[in-house]
Structure 1
Amino acid sequence: MSDTPRIPTPLCEEHIAKGDWNVLWDQMRELDPEFMEAYLAFRSVPHRNGPLPQKVKELIMIAINAATTHLYGPGVRRHIRNALNHGATQDEILEAIQLTTVMGIHACNMAVPILMEEMAAHQAKS
């Protein structure tokens, strides 16, 4: 898109490698790789540090992505996968989704079918 040389983006590569990449970020990375690196550095702090176990962080991310004000299905799917990989149960994930209904039932309408698909895929791998 631009004649500007590509700036190395190690945080972008790290997020892609661990499956925590939103494909919507591809264009921003291309337009302004320095911004993407700064955003990822900021966004990653609570994922690298703090007292909450990674499973709990993933449950919170499910709730954020499923919330009526966000309704971002790909994020729900990514964080359900991550939560399962960190030992979350179907009941724990379902409760995180149910807690978002205080903002509106739409969270369940979108997230529960994704949970069912991801549980089936996770169980098929096991």
Structure 2
Amino acid sequence: MTTNPEPIRTPTIDLMRRTGNWNPLWDTLSDWDPEWTEQFMAMNATPVRRGVFTPEFVELLSIAIDAAATHLYAPGVRRHIRAALELGVSREQILTVLQMVSVLGIHACNLGVPILEDELDAFEARRAAS
């Protein structure tokens, strides 16, 4: 006979939901494996909980992470900009973070422009030979 295991406690997930920091895209993952999801979210929250950085810096860093070309999570950008403003972070500071993180996208040019140059040279050489 199998007994029902005790429900898994998810204090980190519960707090994230209460404070509006929960992404609904994580609902299924949390439903299917609440223990793993809780551990992941708790690990993710550890640096903030330790208090090494000021809350303002944490919000600016969170804006950068969510706005990065490799992440692009608009609800997080909005939530962290709102929180940063409420903490007194200036528009100029937030804009500077967005400008700094935008350089991540420059890699498309770093890769693509030399290839374009090679292909244009080859194209023109073929055209000149015909």
Common fold by TM > 0.5: yes
Superposition pairs of residues 1-126 of structure 1, within 5 angstroms: 6-104=7-105
User: Which whole-Å CA distance do the structure 2 matches of 1:48 and 1:10 have between them?
Assistant: 14
Query: If you compute each CA radius of gyration, which structure gives the higher value, 1 or 2?
Result: 2
Amino acid across the alignment from 1:42? M
Amino acid across the alignment from 1:44? A
Deviations 1:71-110 (A, max 9, x none): 11111111112212222111111111010121127xxxxx
Gaps spanning 5+ residues in structure 2: where? 107-130
Gaps spanning 5+ residues in structure 1: where? 106-126
Q: CA RMSD in A?
A: 1.9
Runs of 4+ in 1 over 3 A off after TM superposition: 3-6
Give, in angstroms, the shift of residue 50 of structure 1: 3.7
TM-score, normalisation: structure 1: 0.73
SS in 2 for 1:103: helix
More helix by share: 2
SS in 2 for 1:24: helix
1:65 to 1:49, Cα distance in 2 relative to 1, 3 A: same
TM-score, normalisation: structure 2: 0.71
